[in-house]
Amino acid sequence: MDWKLMLSTFGLVFLAELGDKTQLATMSLSAGAPSRLAVFLGSAGALVLTSALAVLLGGAVARVVPEIWIHRVAGVGFIVMGVLFLAGKG
C-alpha cells in the first residue's frame, strides 16, 4: 500500500468536504434525527459509494484520456467554480 498516497488523498478529501453542502445536509439531518448513528451510517455509506464510483470512473477515463489532460480539465473546473463562488454565483 502506498501510505503517502493514501494519506494525501485522505487529507485532500477531508479538507474538501469540510463545510460543503454534504456536510451541512448531514448536520441538518442529524439535528432532528432520532438516531444519529443512522445518519452517520447513511452519510458515510454514500461518501464511500461516490468515492468508489470516482475511483472506477477515474481508472476508466485514464485508459482513454492522458493523465495530463485529466489534471488540466480538473484544474480549470476548480478555477471556474472558485471564480463563480467569489462572484457570488455559486
Average pLDDT over residues 18-38: 89
Q: Which domain, by its residues, includes 19?
A: 3-86
Exposed/middle/buried for 26, CB within 10 Å: 0-12, 13-18, 19+? buried
Mean pLDDT of the chain: 91
As for how many domains the chain has, the answer is 1
Give the Cα separation of 39 and 55 in Å (integer). 24
Confidence check: pLDDT of 90 > 80: no
* pLDDT of 17: 85
- The pTM of this model reads 0.68
* pLDDT of 2: 94
Give the Cα separation of 70 and 33 in Å (integer). 40
- Please give the share of the chain, as a percent, with pLDDT higher than 90: 63
Q: What are phi and psi of 40, to 5 degrees?
A: -60, -50
